[in-house]
Amino acid sequence: MSTHPTTTTTNTVGHHKQQVLTSADFIYDAHPILFYVKMNFDFEGQRERELKLHQGDIVGVTKDNVQGWSVGKFNSKIGLFPTAFASPVQCGADGAVSVLMRVWRGYKFKKGLERKNRVREIICIINELIETEKNYLYFLDVLDTLYIQVFESRLEAKKPLISQEEIKKVFGNVRQIRNLTKILLNEVQKQKNENRNSGNIPKILDVFVKHLPFLNFYSDYVKGYDLAVEIVNEICKKNKEFDKLLKQSRDDPLSKGLGLRDLLPKPMQRIFGYKNLFDRLVKITPSDSVIYLKVRSLAENMEKIVSKINESKRHYETSQKVASQFSSLLKSWRKFMKEGRIKIQHHNEKGEEWADCYLASDIFAYTSNGKKDIVILPLIFSSVIENFGK
């Protein structure tokens, strides 16, 4: 077979230049299709820049018969094929339909690859979710086995290291969270195992839709986390036996080098991990996919849960701060939303002073008289000043 006419030099025969091909001729988007040809024979295309074609394939020609070779486009590739191996397509009605079908198949092939890659990415995230969930559940079991059960057994034996109330404050509802995690993981794995190649993605998402409301369990845990760490630190200072047990548990092979202070944040990290995973799923899921609306809804609901957890934590922290100074402000129905500092301007010899302030669902309160007293303003008798400070 003749060599490719890809040299960039030209030879002259009389007054005629010999046509050659350059690398620019193989830039896919740079050249329009001039006409279509139908392959009469198979062409294996084993060398660089050669297309692999079969009898009956329709090729769009961009450059014709250069020293016995033509340049054409096929299945989103551009390359060489022998001119003599093909014949022009007759542009009758049947020929036009045939050409359009071939072009459409090539387009579908390309889009199919893109979709396949997206599906592969989605499956990777689902697999990541399952593996990280297994790891998370493992450490929740460690918390229960090496800490909660040990402290409870000491209580039963009348040799307590910490009280029942302290156990409750340190570990919160971690057992409730662990049980939810077990159920979630088992159901996700069950759905995935139904189709080992691609996973049953819609049904896996349905598992999260079903259990999403129960993720609010994390709210109670998160808002009590800071107090839990504070209690652990205080007990360690006062109780050497407690501190010794924490070190022994950390050195246990089951702990994999993680101590109690490393394990307590795990539930908080996980709830934000869920949000991150669903945000990533939304970004890579095609908007025309059958699962897109479900993925987007899950991500939006996860965002709401995380926001609610953060708001609950802020409310709890503010309430604790108010309780330590002004316990009379605490009511079961009152919700503290924000705290801050304001400058009070007095119309007497006192001048001005900084005060702590608290915005609740029904009152605005601020400290006075060197923070010894507190002024309470019912919101029902207040109004908002627009453009304040402008």
In three-state secondary structure terms, 254 is helix
**Under a CB-based contact definition with an 8 Å cutoff, are residues 81 and 69 in contact?**
yes
Q: Which fold has domain 12-89?
A: SH3 type barrels. (2.30.30)
Measured CA to CA, the distance from residue 326 to residue 31 in angstroms comes to 79
Tell me which H or E stretch contains 374: strand 373-378
User: What would the mean pLDDT of 28-37 be, rounded to a whole number?
Assistant: 85
Is it true that 12-89 and 115-325 share their CATH fold?
A: no
Spell out the domain ranges in the chain.
Answer: 12-89, 115-325, 333-381
Of the candidates 85, 184, 94, the one whose C-alpha atom is nearest the C-alpha of residue 130 is 184
Q: Count Cα atoms within 13 angstroms, Cβ side, for 172.
A: 25
Residue 8 — pLDDT band, cuts 50, 70, 90? very low
Token pair for 218: 């994390």
> What distance separates the 2 farthest-apart alpha carbons in the chain?
113
Q: How many CB atoms lie within 10 A of CB 63?
A: 17
**Under a CB-based contact definition with an 8 Å cutoff, are residues 191 and 238 in contact?**
no
In this prediction, residue 258 carries a pLDDT of: 92
Give the percent of the chain with pLDDT over 90.
Answer: 25
**Under a CB-based contact definition with an 8 Å cutoff, are residues 308 and 215 in contact?**
no
User: What would the mean pLDDT of 366-382 be, rounded to a whole number?
Assistant: 68
Superfamily of domain 115-325: Dbl homology (DH) domain (1.20.900.10)
- Each residue's pLDDT tens digit, 234-257: 999 999 999 999 999 999 999 999
Q: Check pLDDT > 60 for residue 101.
A: no
Predicted TM-score (pTM) above 0.75 = no
> DSSP letter at 23?
G
What residue type is assigned to position 266 of the chain?
Answer: K
Measured CA to CA, the distance from residue 232 to residue 250 in angstroms comes to 14
Radius of gyration of the chain measured on its C-alpha atoms: 36
Token pair for 267: 């539930």
